[in-house]
Structures are given as structure tokens and as C-alpha cells.
Amino acid sequence: MAVKIKDVAQRAGVSVTSVSRVLNGEKYVSEDILQRVQKAIEELQYSPSHIARSLKRQKTDLIGVIVPDLTSNFYSTILSSIEETATYYGYNLLVCNIAEDLEKELKYLNIFREMRVDGIIIMHEKSSPELLSFIQNSGIPILYSSVKSPDPDFVSVIIDDYQAAFQTVEYLVSLGHSRIAYIGGDMRDITSGQYRYEGFRAGLLRHGITPNEAWIRFGDYKIPSGREQMSELLQLSEWPTVVFAASDDMAVGALNCMLDQGLDVPKEMSLIGFDGSIIAEVVRPALTSMQQPIREMGKVSLETLHEMIMRPGKAVRKDLILSHQLVERESCLPLSTNKTN
Amino acid sequence: MAVKIKDVAQRAGVSVTSVSRVLNGEKYVSEDILQRVQKAIEELQYSPSHIARSLKRQKTDLIGVIVPDLTSNFYSTILSSIEETATYYGYNLLVCNIAEDLEKELKYLNIFREMRVDGIIIMHEKSSPELLSFIQNSGIPILYSSVKSPDPDFVSVIIDDYQAAFQTVEYLVSLGHSRIAYIGGDMRDITSGQYRYEGFRAGLLRHGITPNEAWIRFGDYKIPSGREQMSELLQLSEWPTVVFAASDDMAVGALNCMLDQGLDVPKEMSLIGFDGSIIAEVVRPALTSMQQPIREMGKVSLETLHEMIMRPGKAVRKDLILSHQLVERESCLPLSTNKTN
DNA sequence: GTGAAAGCGCTAACAC
DNA sequence: GTGTTAGCGCTTTCAC
């Protein structure tokens, strides 16, 4: 890796400036020099140093991405979409899986700053004073994707979680259900998870249903927690007729718990998920789910961040709300009137 | 982001060297200077430039990772494990999802080189002359993870795919099966997929079973292709009693096809997967599968690459073979003697 | 059109 | 123990 721009210049018999010009596709280079430089680059197998270039340009084409869980169907799909769009815009992704570890998140945010990334995308909704202070003072364009930013002044690309949850309940009610259980995400922070929960409650209230607190439980959005919460739910003497899980992964965990206990889903109990990730189509019965526009979310996130990077002054709408959509599959049935339960 | 080492030095009333020494935790700094520098760093909110440091040190702490599909259960889990280990060793991950696009892979490999990454991990088994030439000439430590490298001189962290497939067949035979179908990965390249396939054939032959070519099909390791291949299999007049899929994702696709056609799995037809990824435990019936040590594979990959980076001269064993293990779940039943089929 | 030279922010001889 | 200074490999005025 010893060959540098100077070597190319010597080989081609021109100045480093000319080589640089060729490298950057500028005009004001004669056909003759262009040819000689290209030949020298080829012969020397020259690969320009992005590091040196970044130092000079004060721009790295790097975007740092913080994912809570790479193995989640939801996040890996957003990430995949972000990656696709990033490639298109000439960015490279520095990715960090923080596994719910706020300290690791802060550590990585600082590394991103040292790396002088051009922008940061965060998909994690937990927060802390240090984290808040970082996003407020770093000077780096930061965007929250799929979750609401802890500071309302920062831009978030999300769906209207409140409305989506509210409408999910309306759908369930329209099917005749009134005994509705809820398995939510973590409630410790004021973000998407909370809007979802509030939407759920509001939906119930809107239809004159008093929430049964024993049927309201919280997991961590992942498969095992859905299973655990469902298991506890089934130990109750009174059962709901439908379970609303705030993520498809939790819905799958719940589904497996039900199936393994011999319950017929959806005949004996219905189930509805949230996210519309791949797994909803994969399990049997396929999950009816409130779908987020996952890939679009990734694309819009990167494009918006790109805007923020290119026009530092220009204001961007704080919340970019994308549209959700209920997708009916097999896990949710109208409540049959002859149900004993 | 204007504050640099010089500013810190001025503020603390010392030389830049001293600041650099503090930054790098060297000794030969008096307690007094240490204090003053730390105070200045704090007050100025100084964040050292990793870019400038990399340029000087000729080391970036960056590792480029090429993943064929971020949304795959198998690859996202390896990636997650690589990430975890990378954090431990102080590396950052530049990730690229190449979506089976060889041109994109080559493009990214060149970007990795321009970025001066310290090493590269590739999890894609397709190859081309240009790609081969790159890995042979780049001068960057490169390691293949979970797939066999196209050039035998490069190190691969893998299982013994041939043996694993062979033993899978032995297991099936021990259950009484002899009508065994196979859904493999892509056969266009001489890598893991091929060893799996050869192991399968050898297993059959070893037990005096003549392979039925109509029951041998190839997909692309992903869910939809498992479904497609299964669908065609079911259109045949003669059916196998068990299907061996070379990835869990394809097995899930096949499973859904069977289930959706009203087949009872495993009573009417058994199914066995390969990989041991999360999804095998998630579907119902849960998939019996030949399990790869996925997380260990990621960990060993990064640790080996780290070794290669630290000791450039030292030879590393070309193939690091990890152990596989058959995990019995619900999708595979002994062939009942009273089967009509 | 082309080139010389300054400088991006840091580290590491080397001198004191 | 501490500071001066020469680069790391590139881009970009500015002068020719």
C-alpha cells in the first residue's frame, strides 16, 4: 500500500496537482495528461487514500448507524434499506449494535464523533442525560429512525404510533372483540412505545371498554419476551379473546406460547402484531399486523440525513410521519358469537 | 468541531506533544501537565480526530464486512457476533450488504481499500476473476467467514460442510428414510454449497440409495426460494418422505409451502434444515436442523482476523473448522412402517 | 492548462 | 519530562 499520489505523478511525469485533478474528474486537464495519469494509476495499482482525502476535505462520507439489535427482523430490514440508499448517495456505513446498552451507545457516539462521520442515524429509543447532551452538542447531523427522538428538536422518521395503535384497536373492535390484551414494549422512556400504548388505551376508551390492567403487559420487543408475557397471561383465570402485541417479534413469541399450549390460533384466541416485518408472513398462522413502511423508512431516513448534511443551515421538519397500514393475514378472526370463553 | 490538539495545548499552556501523550496514555507526563491537559480537554469539549490519527499511524481500526443479505437470520447473527467481538478489540465495522451483486462487492472492496481498513471479512461465496485478483493483490488481511474462500490460500472460518451434510443424511437414514429430497444453495460456484451437496450425495450412496435427480433442486438460501422449490417438488407424481434443505431459511419456505398445501409436517412428510439459526426455533413445527456454531463463527472470525492484522508475517491455518451439531426438534419423524406413500 | 507549496490534525523522532 | 518539527497523503489556492 506504499504507492501514493506522488509516485503516480512521477511515473506519469506530471505534478501531483494534475493527478489529483484526474482523480477528481476535474476539467482543465489535457487529454495527454489524462491518458498518462490513467496509465500510471493502472500500472501502479494506485488506490487513493480516503483517509488523507477526508482530512483535507473535512468530510468522510461516513454515516454512523446505531441499531438496538441486528438480529431483529425489523431493524435489519431498515438497516438493509439504509445501506442500499447510502450506497446510492456515496456514503459508507459504520454500524454499531448496542444491544440495549446505553453506555455502549454513548461510547460509540463518541467514536463516531472522533471518526468525524458526516451524520448519525439512531434507531434506539432509550435515552439518558449524557446521551441527550451529546446529541445536542455534537454538532453532527443526527436523525432518529423508526423511533421518536428523545429531544423534540431533533428529526425523527416515524409513523404515527398513537394513531396506528388506536386504529388497531378499532379494527379489533370492529371484529367484535372487547376482551383485548396488550403486550407492549418497554415503558421506561417517553418514545414510540409510549405513543403506541397511549393509542391502545385511547382506542379502548373510545369504545367504552375499560382496560383490564392484568391484560396489559410489557416486554422488550423481542421474541422471548412475547412468549414470557403470553405465558403469564395464560395463567390468569380470565382470558382475553385477542392479544395485541406491539411488535411482530413479540407476537411471534406469544404465538408460539399459545400454539405450544395447544391453543388454536386464531379460532380460540386471535393475535395481532405490529411492524409488518418479514417474520409476520413466515409464521403459521401468518400474522395480521399493523404494518410500518419499513424499507421506505430507511430510505427516507438516509435521504433526509443527506439533506441535513448538504444544507447545514436549512431547517428540516422535525417529525417525518410515514403512513402505516393494517395488513390482514390469518391470525385475527371475528369474535364468533357462540364462543364460550 | 474546530477545536484541535493545538487549541488544547494553548489552553493548557503546554506543547502539542504533551497533549498527544496524555491522549495516548503514555507515561513521561507529570501529574501537573496531566491535570491541566485533562481540564483543557474537558473545557474545550475536545474530540481527537481519528482521521488525522489514522493518517499518521497508518492504521484505521476499521474492518470492512461484506454480507450477502443483512435480513437473513443466519448472516445477521454472525454479523452481530462479529460486531460484539470487534467492539472488544477496539475495531469499528464498515458494513456492506451486497445482495448477491458481484459488481457491488468489487466496488465495495475497492472502497474498503481506499478507506485503508485494517482487514476485511467476506461472507459471500460467489466469486469472479476480478474478485479473486483483488483478494490476491490488495495486501489487506482478508478472511472468509461461514463460507469457503474461492482461493484455497485464504483463510476460511467454516464448518466441515461435507461431513455435516453427510451426517445429516445418516441421521435421516437412521430414522428409516430413503426417499430423501434435497434443496441446495446456488451451485454456480465451488464453495460451501458444493461441499454440502457432495456430502449429501455421498451420504445417499454410502447407504446404497440412488439419488433421484428430480428430488434434487437448488435455490438461493433464502425463504422464497425454499417455497418455490418445494412447490415444484410437490407437483411431482412421486414424493419423498423427507426434505433436506441446505439452509434454515429455505427450510422455512419449504415448510410454509407444505403447510399451506395442507400437508401435515412431520407426520406426512419430514423436513430438516441446516444452519441452526433463530428461525428454526421460531416456526411450528420447530425445525430439526444441522446447527452451525453461528455466534462462535463470528467471534473466531474476528479474532483470527485480528491475529492476522497484528502479526502480518505469521501464517494462519487456512481453514478453521468449527464443529457442527444436529439439533433435533419437531420437524423430523422416523418413517412409520405403515406409511402408504 | 499546469505546478509549487501550504496545510488538514495528528504522532513520533529528536533535541533539550 | 517536555517541546520543536517533520511528515502521514491528499486538495487547493495562487502564480505562472
Angle between helices B5-12 and B16-23 in degrees, nearest 10: 110
Q: What does the pLDDT read at residue A317?
A: 82
B49 touches strand D (CB under 7 A): no
CA dihedral B309→B312→B316→B322, nearest 10 degrees, is 0
Does residue B80 or residue A335 have the better pLDDT? B80
CATH class, range A62-159+294-322: alpha beta
**Per-residue model confidence (pLDDT) at position B197:** 95
pLDDT value of residue A338: 46
What's the pLDDT band for A126 if we cut at 50, 70, 90?
confident
User: How far is residue A341 from each of residues A102, A239, A336, A338, B61, measured CA to CA in Å?
Assistant: 43, 7, 10, 9, 60
Outline which parts of chain A fall under CATH 1.10.260.40: 5-48
pLDDT classification of A190: cutoffs 50, 70, 90: low
Q: How far apart are CA A255 and CA B29, in angstroms?
A: 61
Q: Is B312 on the interface with A (CB under 8 A)?
A: no
Domain with CATH 3.40.50.2300 in chain B: 62-159+294-322, 161-292+326-337
B57 touches chain A (CB under 8 A): no
Task: Over range A157-184, report the average pLDDT.
Answer: 97
Residue B338: per-residue pLDDT: 46
Is A27 (CB) below 7 Å from strand D?
no
Cell of B97: 450488504
What residue has cell string 435489519?
Answer: A76
Task: From chain B, pick out residues whose CB is under 8 angstroms from the CB of A329.
Answer: none
- pLDDT tens readout for residues A279-288: 999 999 999 9
pTM above 0.85, yes or no: yes
D8 nearest neighbour residue (CA to C1'): B56
For position A80, what pLDDT does the model report? 98
Write down the CATH superfamily of domain A161-292+326-337: Response regulator (3.40.50.2300)
Cα dist from B285 to A265, B243, B292, B307, whole Å: 14, 14, 20, 42
Please indicate whether, in this complex, the C-beta atoms of A113 and B47 are within 8 angstroms of each other.
yes
CA dist A107 and A20 (Å) reads 36
> CA A59, A60, A62, A66 torsion: positive or negative?
negative
Contact state of A283 with B278 under an 8 Å Cβ cutoff: no
DSSP state of B214: G
Q: Which three cell numbers stand for residue B77?
A: 447473527
pLDDT by residue (tens digit) across A52-62? 999 999 999 99
Q: Which three cell numbers stand for residue B286?
A: 420447530
Q: State the pLDDT at residue A1.
A: 59
Q: Is the backbone peptide bond immediately before A152 cis, with ω within 30 degrees of 0?
A: no
Give the C-alpha separation, A336 to A267, whole Å: 9
- Enumerate residues 33 to 52 of chain B having a beta carbon within 8 A of any beta carbon in chain A: 45, 47-52
The per-residue pLDDT string of chain B (341 residues; one tens digit each, 9 = 90 and over) reads 589 999 999 999 999 999 999 999 888 889 999 999 999 999 999 999 999 999 999 999 999 999 999 999 999 999 999 999 999 999 999 999 998 889 999 999 999 999 999 999 999 988 899 999 999 999 999 999 999 998 888 999 999 999 999 999 999 999 999 999 999 987 766 678 899 999 999 999 999 999 999 999 999 999 999 999 999 999 999 999 999 999 999 999 999 999 999 999 999 999 999 999 999 999 999 999 999 999 999 999 999 999 999 998 887 888 999 999 999 999 999 987 544 44
* CATH code, B5-48: 1.10.260.40
pLDDT in tens, A270-280: 999 999 999 99
Cα separation, A63 vs A306, whole angstroms: 10
Instruction: Looking at B13-128, list the stretches that DSSP marks H as alpha helix, in order from N- to C-terminal side.
Output: 16-23, 31-44, 50-57, 73-89, 102-114
d(CA B37, CA A323): 51
